[in-house]
Amino acid sequence: MIELRNYQKHAIESLKTKVENVLRSPESGVVIFQSPTGSGKTVMVSELLKELVKNRKDNKKFSFIWVSVRMLHEQSKEKLEKYYEDDRLLQCSYFEDLEDRKIGENEILFINWHSINKKDINIYIRERAR
C-alpha cells in the first residue's frame, strides 16, 4: 500500500471535484491534470479512478482508457495492477485482453498513443464502412 503525501491527497481531492462537476454537467467537458515530473501523477490518477469507482452514488458505470506515449502504457499498466491488487476494484487490460473487443465496467484499457494517432498503422480505430 502506497502512503500518499499531503500534496497528493490535496491534488486528488481537487481533481475528483473537477471530474465530478464534469460528470454532473449536461455539457461535455474536459479535465486536464498537470503535475511536475516525479510528483506521482500515475499514483494520483490511480487513486482518483479507484475513488470514482468505489464511491459511486448515482449508479454511473465507468470504463477508462489510459493513453501514453512511447511504451509508457506498459509501465503504467504494471504499476496500476500492483496498486489495485489488494482491492481489485479495477481491471487493467490491453486491447487484446478485452472480451468481445469492449471495455468492461471498472476496466482500464492501456494503449499507446502512436497506435491510435497514425492513420496508416492505426489498429484500434477504423473508419466505418458505408
CA pseudo-torsion sign 21, 23, 29, 34: positive
CA distance 17 to 34: 15
DSSP 88: -
CA distance 8 to 33: 12
Reported as a pLDDT band with limits 50, 70 and 90, residue 130 is very low
**Percent with pLDDT over 90 in the chain:** 62
* Mean of all residue pLDDT scores within the chain: 87
> In the chain, what are the domain boundaries?
1-56, 61-130
Which tens digits make up the pLDDT trace of 23-75? 999 999 999 999 999 999 999 999 999 999 998 877 888 999 999 888 889 99
**pLDDT above 80 for 78:** yes
**pLDDT above 70 for 128:** no
